Amino acid sequence: MIDSHCHTFYSKHATGTVDELVRASIAAGVTVLTITDHAPFPVDSDNRLLESELEQYFADIDSVRQTYRGQITILRGLELDYMPGTDNFNRELLARYPMDFVIGSIHYVEVPDEPMVKVWELSRLASPAFLDRYFANLEALLDSGLVDAVGHADTLLRGVPEDILIRRFEPLLELLARSGIAFELNASGLRKSSLDSVTGMEVLGLWTYPSRELLGQMIARDVPFTIGSDAHNPRDAGAGIADMLATLRPQGLLQRISYYEQRRRIDVALDTLVSPSNP
Ligand SMILES: [Zn+2]
Ligand SMILES: [Zn+2]
């Protein structure tokens, strides 16, 4: 089992040490784990690594790589934030530390005449002004050449109807395919709340993302996929990955999953991956 997206206490709003996360991941059956704490970013310092912690963060990852050698492959990653105007900041950050994998995610969006929108503010996601800026920023991220994969780009499905999201996403499919950037299948969509369109209340237990319809369109364009639990504590190590694959594979769509070593893509055919439907 591959898990290419997870967090430790270094992200501040997540818990568990690197060692605790790795032990829980081994217990959950993960064999290739990329640790991807939130990278330093100018707009926020409470929910991410500080630049002063990066040295220790990577040292911790290198240490568990040695300790658990033979049981699990451990890779060095970061989840980068993206906003227009931050390219140089991000580029300099990435140049300082050799890494295996870089996810680019959009968590914050500046909308004219409004306080900054965070993508977990579900009731604000369906506004056309927000969607305009979100997809403009996503296009700029795909153009930036900074990242290996785009993280949970369809997380907006927590507050946006699927047909609206797909209409917004379709113009970017060509660019996504051409960029070579992978699309992340993020399993946190199986356990996060979403907005009920009738009552406006947040409800649990619905699979919101990844979008299965969008997935089909990306497969048709040969877009590579990464996969991750997005665990924010050791209890969620590997969570949702086997369930997600078990659901997507019988649809005959998904044939391979990729992960990255030293920023180079490695494709794994799904019939060689162990999951409950293929023990
Ligand atoms: Zn994220
Ligand atoms: Zn994350």
Spacing, Cα 94 to ligand 2 middle (Å): 17
Spacing, Cα 231 to ligand 2 middle (Å): 7
What is residue 209's predicted lDDT score, i.e. its pLDDT?
Answer: 80
Looking at all shown ligands, the one closest to residue 230's CA atom is 2
Looking at all shown ligands, the one closest to residue 13's CA atom is 2
What is residue 186's predicted lDDT score, i.e. its pLDDT?
Answer: 94
Q: Is 209 helix (H, G, I), strand (E, B) or coil?
A: coil
Spacing, Cα 279 to ligand 1 middle (Å): 30
Q: Where are the alpha helices (DSSP H) in the chain?
A: 18-27, 54-67, 87-96, 128-144, 162-179, 212-220, 241-248
Looking at all shown ligands, the one closest to residue 107's CA atom is 1
- Which among 134, 182, 180, 129 is positioned nearest to 157, based on CA atoms? 134
Spacing, Cα 109 to ligand 1 middle (Å): 13
Looking at all shown ligands, the one closest to residue 229's CA atom is 2
Spacing, Cα 277 to ligand 2 middle (Å): 27
As averages over each run of 10 residues, the pLDDT of the chain (279 residues) reads 98 97 98 98 94 98 98 98 95 96 97 94 94 97 97 93 94 97 93 83 83 90 96 96 87 85 95 52
Spacing, Cα 103 to ligand 2 middle (Å): 9
* Dist. CA 223–CA 197, nearest whole Å: 31
Identify residue 94 by its one-letter amino acid code: L
Spacing, Cα 79 to ligand 1 middle (Å): 7
Whether residue 197 contacts residue 161, with contact meaning beta carbons closer than 8 Å, is answered with yes
Going from the N-terminus, what domains does the chain have, and what CATH number goes with each? Answer: 2-272 (3.20.20.140)
Whether residue 256 contacts residue 267, with contact meaning beta carbons closer than 8 Å, is answered with yes
| 106 Cβ neighbours under 8 A, 6+ residues apart | 81, 82, 83, 119, 134, 137, 138, 141, 153
Looking at all shown ligands, the one closest to residue 155's CA atom is 1
Whether residue 101 contacts residue 148, with contact meaning beta carbons closer than 8 Å, is answered with yes
3-state helix, strand, coil in the chain (%, to 5): 40, 20, 40
Spacing, Cα 111 to ligand 2 middle (Å): 23
For 45, the token pair is 């310092």
* Dist. CA 69–CA 162, nearest whole Å: 42
Spacing, Cα 74 to ligand 1 middle (Å): 20
What residues are paired with 102 via a beta bridge?
78
Q: For residue 210, say if its preceding peptide bond is cis, omega within 30 degrees of 0.
A: yes
| 172 Cβ neighbours under 8 A, 6+ residues apart | 135, 138, 139, 142
Spacing, Cα 171 to ligand 2 middle (Å): 25
Please, which residues have CB less than 5 A from ligand 2, an ion?
Answer: 79, 230
What residues are paired with 105 via a beta bridge?
81
For 36, the token pair is 């991807």
CB atoms within 10 A of CB 274: 11
Spacing, Cα 29 to ligand 1 middle (Å): 23
